[in-house]
Amino acid sequence: MHKYQAVVLAGGSGTRLWPMSRQQLPKQFLKLTGEDSLLAATISRLSPKIKQGDVWVVTNEAHATGEAFSELDHLHTILEPCARDTAPAIALAAALLQKDGDDPVMLVLPADHIIQDIPAFHQALDQAIAAAEQGKLVTFGIVPEHPDTGFGYIQAEMSHADTALPVKRFTEKPDLKTAKTFLDEGGYFWNSGMFVWKASVILAELQKYQPKIDVVLQAMQQAWVEGEAWQEVVRHQFKDMPSISIDYAVLETSDNVVMVPVSMGWSDVGSWDAVFDIADKDEANNAVSGHVIAIDCEHSLLRSESRLIAAVGLRDIIAVETPDAILLCPKGESQRVREVVAALKHTSGTELLEHVTVKRPWGSYTVLENAEGYKMKRIVVEPGASLSLQRHQHRSEHWIVVSGTATVTRNDDVFTVAKNESTYIPIGEKHRLANKGKIPLQMIEVQVGEYLGEDDIERFDDIYGRE
């Protein structure tokens, strides 16, 4: 194992960027700026100090076999069976990095932040690593650009001569008056949620301040010593961890915390207002993306994912369109998107869970129509990919191939269905769809039945490990 390792925390739900961010595909897996997802950009910016092979991504187990499969498949992953906040995730990662007797310096950072000044980030990282090698718990403090109620704050001892400043205290998100006071006083920085420390140091601090975490961790480590597969141990025991952030668990109590101040074009992309702030603007200060016609509009975020947005005379408006939802709100009010998400939870709206087009390890499907008693989908299966062997108790399926060739398993029969041909899967019959060809398989599926939910799937075999 190399001397430096990175642990990227990618388990968040990202609800404040609805409707683009969904429960099954939260913001860390989205491409908000440029060609890379936020996760991919986070890993890329670590080079050359930390290469991809030395990066571990901690994420929800469901993401690894769900919509984020393509983002995670080529990475080292630590899969959480349930969410337990940042302290248990960091404890688990540190223990795994030490599992074979190593004690690397570990950089811990969220997967969903944007950093525009990469050289400044690298310089701060070098300073943080130097302090971590001396046994310190190091955090990054962002030089505040304005009073902001959306961030926690770190107060540092500014009179100290070293680059890494001793931390005096952490403060939760303040009201506006308090935030202004912090900036007037000086010595306060935005809490970035990025940390550097030796694996052994953070584990010792957790043992000291969080014995409940340590007890579960020791039980897991004992199971590893006895030869159990580490991910299986995590699957069965991680749920016993308490749910607590690393700030509450250790940093706010420890007297061993220092901070590296940095100004690096940082954003936690915590709202659509934040997306507007970092986006490229036109001459009227509009951030425009996708199929948009903007006439006499100013200072607005207009983002289309599929359909045309035609905007006339808008000022200070956020408009975000996806195939199944449209968000409209004044700038400055986008934090209230969480209220929309809460309302969707009460109505069990599918718009909260997934997009119209849903990515899967084998390809994707798009819901074309969903009505009482039937549902139509467009299914794309990538070359060499295969759906699970499965059956349904409440629906039959009609498959029409429009391009490529399908290899179909139906009970004990295996046969091919070519372009412009179709087949039928009755209720209760085991079946599988595969693409053994060289081009994507595209087909139309018509489901008929009294219940058409995605949970009416009984899997018998799956090459992607889904239950």
Amino acid at position 54, single letter? D
pLDDT 10s digit of each residue in the chain, 467 long?
A: 679 999 999 988 778 899 999 988 999 999 988 789 999 999 999 999 999 999 999 999 888 888 888 899 889 999 999 999 999 999 999 999 998 889 999 999 999 999 999 999 999 999 999 999 999 999 999 999 899 888 999 999 987 666 799 999 999 988 999 999 999 999 999 999 999 999 999 999 999 999 999 999 999 999 999 999 999 999 999 999 999 999 999 999 999 999 999 999 999 998 999 999 999 999 999 999 999 999 999 999 999 999 999 999 999 999 999 999 999 999 999 989 999 999 998 887 789 888 999 999 999 999 999 999 999 999 999 999 999 999 999 999 999 999 999 999 999 999 999 999 999 999 999 999 999 999 999 999 999 999 998 889 999 999 887 77
CATH of 362-461, one of 1.10.3090.10, 1.10.1040.10, 1.20.120.80, 2.60.120.10: 2.60.120.10
Domain segments of the chain: what residues? Answer: 4-267, 281-336, 362-461
Q: Please, how many CA atoms are within 13 Å of residue 195, restricted to the half-sphere of its CB?
A: 24
**Cα 166 to Cα 259: distance, rounded to the nearest angstrom:** 6
Domains 4-267 and 362-461 agree in fold? no
Q: What is the 3-state secondary structure (H, E, C) of 300-312?
A: CEEEECCCCEEEE
3-state DSSP assignment of residue 263: coil
**Cα 221 to Cα 95: distance, rounded to the nearest angstrom:** 8
Region at 324 (left for phi over 0; alpha for psi -120 to 50; beta for the rest) = alpha
Residue 463's pLDDT is what? 87
Angle at alpha carbon of residue 404, lines to 400 and 410, rounded to 5°: 55
Phi, psi dihedral angles at 453 (to 5 degrees): -70, 150
Residue 445's pLDDT is what? 98
Write down the CATH superfamily of domain 4-267: Spore Coat Polysaccharide Biosynthesis Protein SpsA; Chain A (3.90.550.10)
Residue 441's pLDDT is what? 98
Amino acid at position 49, single letter? K
Largest CA distance in the chain: 77
Terminal-to-terminal C-alpha distance of the chain: 32
